[in-house]
């Protein structure tokens, strides 16, 4: 039985994780921590702490995990470069899975996007289309940026030289190496991502559609099971899924 503490337990992700963990015989929830609670007290005896809170709260969770020799799963996003470094320094002695997207499907999409780009090569034009709900504030999504980064890595080029965010007006013909990135917004869409590889006469499209945030919670719990007992180090979801 894995003793689990959730930091950010009252949030949307925290509640989704707790709901699933309670139905899972492998987990025993020993701590629910939110704003104003003492994570150090809750962390005593924990096997793993899951942090889905606020960027400013992750360092405290990291220190609590390190002090108690617990494993750590970080899903919180929005850390500055300095904050990331401070967190990484704090967790040197424990195993940590840190991922901005815990969806198993999206991580599989990352993997196959690289493979397809390698196989099809430069003759195929590459475009990424993402759609999210009308309330999303940033564009393109972090997941779309990661997909574009993978395509640029395969081309062995800098993404900032290749990224083409939308098109309007007399923009001229498409250049062979550009990576088109398009953000669509509307309704309550949780997150759709499509990578298009188009050549004269044929087209390959890789698509992922998230319909519920439970998918992130399930992936994070999978990461929590995987990370307990691993050697100290920083891992990501590609490690958890054996995709490296
Ligand atoms: P949310 O706003 O619904 O919940 C955040 C919770 O953290 C709230 O209950 C809040 O009170 C709590 N919190 C704030 N400060 C805290 C502190 N100092 N200590 C403890 N708890 C504190 O947000 P959410 O949608 O649940 O998302 C939480 C985080 O997870 C965000 O950073 C979000 O971007 C990220 N997220 C990651 C993934 C992924 O797959 N990695 C998926 C979804 C969301």
Domains and CATH numbers, the chain: 2-98+213-240 (3.40.50.720), 104-210 (3.30.360.10)
Question: Can you give the pLDDT at residue 61?
Answer: 98
CA 8 centroid distance within chain: 17
Nearest CA among 240, 213, 211 for reference residue 225: 240
In this structure, the residue with its CA closest to atom 16 of ligand 1 is: 35
Task: State residue 100's pLDDT score.
Answer: 82
Q: Find the catalytic residue in 84, 136, 155, 225.
A: 136
Distance CA 234, CA 244 (A): 14
Cβ–Cβ < 8 Å for 218, 18? no
Mean pLDDT of the chain: 95
DSSP state of 167: -
pLDDT score at 79: 86
Least confident piece of the model among 115-129, 138-152, 176-190 = 138-152
Mean pLDDT of 85-102: 96
| Burial letters 58-68, b for 16+ CB under 10 A, else e | bbbbbbbbbeb
Instruction: Determine the pLDDT at residue 141.
Output: 83
Distance from C-alpha of 49 to C-alpha of 70, rounded to nearest angstrom:
7
- On the question of pLDDT at 238 being above 80, the answer is yes
pLDDT bracket for residue 213 (50, 70, 90): confident
Cβ 167 vs Cβ 175: under 8 Å? no
Please say if the pLDDT value at position 137 is more than 80. Answer: no
Separation of alpha carbons 217 and 20, rounded Å: 8
- Ligand 1 near 7 CB (within 6 A): yes
Beta bridge partners of 132: 185
Q: Which of 6, 13, 87 to mutate to test the pocket of ligand 1 (most atoms within 8 A of CB)?
A: 13
Backbone angles phi, psi at 61, to 5 degrees: -65, -40
Contact present, 99 and 223 (Cβ < 8 Å): yes
112, 119, 197, 203, 219 from 178: Cα distances, Å: 20, 18, 12, 17, 32
pLDDT bracket for residue 81 (50, 70, 90): confident
C-alpha 123/C-alpha 158 separation (Å) is: 19
Q: According to the model, what pLDDT value does residue 134 have?
A: 94
Q: pLDDT > 70: what percent of the chain? A: 100
**Catalytic residue (one of 79, 132, 193, 208):** 132
Both tokens of residue 169? Answer: 């007006």
133: closest CA among 141, 144, 125, 122? 141
Who wins on pLDDT, 135 or 226? Answer: 226
The pLDDT of 232-239, averaged and rounded, is 96
pLDDT digits (tens, 9 = 90+) for 95-112: 999 998 899 999 999 999
Q: Is the pLDDT of residue 138 over 80?
A: no
pLDDT band at 158 (very low <50, low <70, confident <90, very high): very high
Helices vs. strands in the chain: H and E counts, helices first: 9, 11
Q: What is the pLDDT of residues 1-39, one digit of tens each?
A: 999 999 999 998 999 999 999 999 999 999 999 999 999
């Amino acid at each position: 039985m894995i003793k689990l503490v959730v930091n950010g337990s009252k949030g949307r992700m925290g509640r989704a994780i707790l709901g699933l963990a309670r139905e899972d015989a492998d987990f025993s929830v020993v701590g629910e921590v939110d704003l104003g609670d003492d994570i150090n007290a809750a962390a005593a005896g924990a096997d793993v702490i899951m942090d889905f809170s606020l960027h400013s709260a992750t360092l405290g969770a990291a220190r609590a995990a390190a002090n108690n020799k617990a494993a750590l799963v970080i899903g919180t996003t929005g850390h500055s470069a300095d904050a990331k470094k401070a967190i990484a320094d704090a967790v040197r002695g424990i195993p940590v899975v840190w991922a901005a997207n815990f969806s198993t499907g999206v991580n599989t999409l990352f993997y196959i996007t690289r493979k397809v780009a390698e196989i099809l090569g430069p003759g195929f034009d590459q475009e990424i289309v993402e759609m999210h709900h009308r309330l999303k504030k940033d564009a393109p999504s972090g997941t779309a940026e990661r997909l574009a980064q993978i395509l640029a890595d395969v081309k062995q080029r800098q993404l900032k030289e290749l990224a083409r965010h939308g098109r309007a007006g007399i923009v001229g013909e498409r250049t062979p190496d550009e990576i088109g990135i398009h953000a669509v917004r509307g309704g309550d869409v949780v997150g759709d991502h499509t990578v298009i590889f188009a050549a004269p006469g044929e087209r390959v499209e890789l698509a992922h559609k998230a319909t519920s945030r439970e998918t992130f919670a399930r992936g994070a719990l999978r990461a929590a099971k995987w990370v307990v007992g691993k050697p100290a180090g920083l891992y990501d979801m590609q490690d958890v899924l054996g995709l490296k």
